[in-house]
């Protein structure tokens, strides 16, 4: 689709951003699993080892070649992470004050209907929220494995309705009761005991989500590399060497990124700004304009719709540039203030010890 509107260069840039986006998402999944293992074990081992274990498990699961072969995993992952988040949502409403806040004396709750953060902090927060619903580009490859591709739009609408309703309701409740003391990831927002329960229930979901991100990125590269060869469909040595090399190779990059940026929300925000802003905001607007060229001079409502879609292009560019600047600045500040230690650190990233 990108080639249709912008030629070969646009196609290759979009493909590159697609790969980087899901490699970063896989890194956030590996980081999330390491946080969960630290929380469950009270930091019984070096964090790097937990991350390496997560890397091996995620890469192995993602090496299953077809979506339908891991379909049951997606249901298990969804149910586990949904229940885990729901446990935390209920638990935060039962506490007198947030678990991360000072437990005695007065403290700043930090709950604002409208806040006024600095530019960098505001862009990081915006990109973190945005990335949670920006993975729609991963939906497209699923069409090729659907029994009835005409059901795609119906499935898309049902999925996004459920996801956005859950995101909105859960996040608002947690923010209402935790304010600025929300943990990252939020499963740690209700204290150590609930944190361990939530991670115990949701660990499958964290692994499965990282597995799916990695599978999507590897599948794209795999098809591009072996297209127009018999190795694409046949179980040859080249077929399996290419596939396993991609899954474990991309997982290795994700592992390194997770260790280099060991703060969950920074890794997510970086994914949203660099990758998803162009491919989930600017590109869809551009594609819509290409399909509705006549609307530019159509009725008043058509012209409004056309220019609203046109505004998505500069909006995506702004979030890409501004968000990337904000995330980089926040990471630099975090290293300078000691919030982030060194890369490949053994320190407890779950605040459980």
In a domain, 329, yes or no: yes
Closest by CA to 85, choosing from 199, 168, 165, 162, is: 199
pLDDT at 181: 84
In a domain, 102, yes or no: no
Closest by CA to 106, choosing from 115, 97, 93, is: 97
d(CA 253, CA 214): 11
Contacts of 322 (CB under 8 A, 6+ apart): 119, 123, 273
In a domain, 284, yes or no: yes
Neighbours of 43 (CB within 10 A): 19
In a domain, 39, yes or no: yes
Q: List for the chain the helix, strand, coil content (%; round to 5).
A: 75, 0, 25
φ/ψ (deg, to 5) at 78: -60, -50
pLDDT at 322: 93
In a domain, 350, yes or no: no
Are 257 and 27 in contact by the 8 Å Cβ rule? The answer is: yes
In a domain, 108, yes or no: no
Residues in the chain where the model's pLDDT stays below 70: 67-71, 353
Look up residue 84 and give its DSSP letter.
Answer: H
d(CA 268, CA 180): 18
pLDDT at 53: 95
Q: How many domains does the chain have?
A: 1
DSSP character string of 100-161: TS-SSS-------SS----HHHHHHHHHHHHHTT-GGGGTGGGGGG-SSGGGHHHHHHHHHH
Q: At what angle do helices 192-226 and 47-62 cross, to 10 degrees?
A: 50
- Which residues span the domain enclosing 119? 2-96+113-337
In a domain, 348, yes or no: no
pLDDT at 68: 64
Give the CATH number, domain containing residue 69: 1.20.1740.10
Closest by CA to 352, choosing from 49, 43, 36, is: 43
pLDDT at 265: 79
Contacts of 310 (CB under 8 A, 6+ apart): 285, 289
In a domain, 71, yes or no: yes
pLDDT at 67: 64
**What are the structure tokens assigned to 318, written together?**
């702004």
């Amino acid at each position: 689709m990108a080639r249709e509107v912008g030629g070969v260069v646009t196609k290759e840039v979009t493909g590159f951003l697609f790969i980087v986006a899901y490699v970063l998402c896989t890194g956030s999944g590996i980081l999330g699993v390491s946080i969960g293992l630290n929380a469950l074990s009270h930091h019984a081992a070096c964090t790097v080892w937990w991350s390496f274990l997560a890397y091996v498990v995620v890469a192995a699961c993602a090496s299953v070649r077809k979506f339908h072969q891991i379909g049951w995993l997606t249901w298990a992952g969804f149910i586990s992470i949904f229940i885990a988040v729901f446990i935390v949502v209920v638990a935060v409403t039962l506490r007198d004050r947030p678990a991360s806040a000072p437990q005695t004396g007065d403290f700043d709750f930090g709950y604002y209907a409208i806040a006024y953060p600095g530019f960098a902090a505001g862009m990081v927060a915006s990109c973190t929220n945005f990335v949670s619903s920006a993975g729609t580009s991963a939906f497209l490859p699923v069409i090729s494995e659907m029994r009835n591709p005409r059901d795609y739009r119906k499935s898309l609408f049902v999925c996004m309705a459920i996801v956005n309703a859950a995101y909105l309701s859960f996040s608002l409740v947690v923010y209402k009761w935790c304010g600025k003391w929300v943990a990252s990831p939020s499963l740690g927002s209700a204290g150590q005991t609930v944190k361990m329960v939530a991670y115990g229930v949701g660990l499958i979901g964290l692994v499965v989500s990282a597995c799916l991100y990695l599978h999507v990125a590897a599948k794209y590269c795999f098809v591009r590399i072996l297209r127009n060869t018999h190795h694409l469909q046949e179980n040859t040595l080249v077929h399996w060497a290419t596939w396993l090399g991609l899954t474990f190779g991309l997982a290795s990059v994700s592992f390194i990124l997770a260790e280099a940026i060991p703060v969950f929300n920074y890794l997510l925000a970086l994914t949203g700004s660099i990758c998803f802003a162009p491919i989930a905001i600017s590109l869809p607007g551009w594609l819509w304009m290409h399909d509705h060229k006549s609307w530019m001079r159509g009725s008043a409502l058509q012209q409004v719709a056309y220019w609203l879609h046109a505004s998505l292009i500069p909006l995506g560019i702004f979030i890409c540039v501004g968000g990337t600047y904000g995330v980089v600045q926040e990471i630099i500040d975090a290293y300078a203030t000691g919030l982030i230690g060194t890369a490949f650190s053994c320190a407890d990233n779950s605040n459980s010890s």
